[in-house]
Amino acid sequence: MAILIPALGVAFAAFCVWLTVRIVNRRERWAKWTLGAVVGLPLLYVASFGPACWWFPKRVRVGSMSLDGKTGSVGYDCSAPRIYWPIGWLAERAPTIYSAVSWFSGLGTDESIRLPTDPTGEYWIRN
């Protein structure tokens, strides 16, 4: 897995360079549309993260109760949709990205938003 992600990054960059050469040298229309989709879809994914946190937060029960049901602390947190776990994973590992993600996810709400950091939804970070 340690070699897979850098290899995919290099392959993606090589594909973008190849498409750019096709656009510049041959002026092919399909290459322009393909490059637009390859660059535009990831940008759209990142740009949709903030509005998804504002409009579709999932309320999650946190805390614990005792067996009698009277003691303990139970509250509710808002969590980002699990489809955005790569953004949470990246924010967990890079402090500068964490501050940007935290700011962007909290723009439209006063509540704290939990970000998933793995595809299963078991691990979270709080902004």
What is the residue whose two structure tokens read 């740009």?
47
For Cα atoms 95, 100, 105, give the angle at the middle one, nearest 5 degrees. Answer: 120
Distance, CA of 48 to CA of 29 (rounded, Å) = 28
pLDDT in tens, 53-107: 888 766 655 555 445 555 555 555 677 888 888 888 888 888 888 888 888 887 7
pTM metric for this prediction: 0.69
Band of pLDDT at residue 121, cut at 50, 70 and 90: confident
Distance, CA of 16 to CA of 10 (rounded, Å) = 10
Q: What is the pLDDT of residue 1?
A: 63
CA-to-CA dists, residue 50 to 10, 66, 89, angstroms: 28, 36, 16
3-state SS class at 115: strand
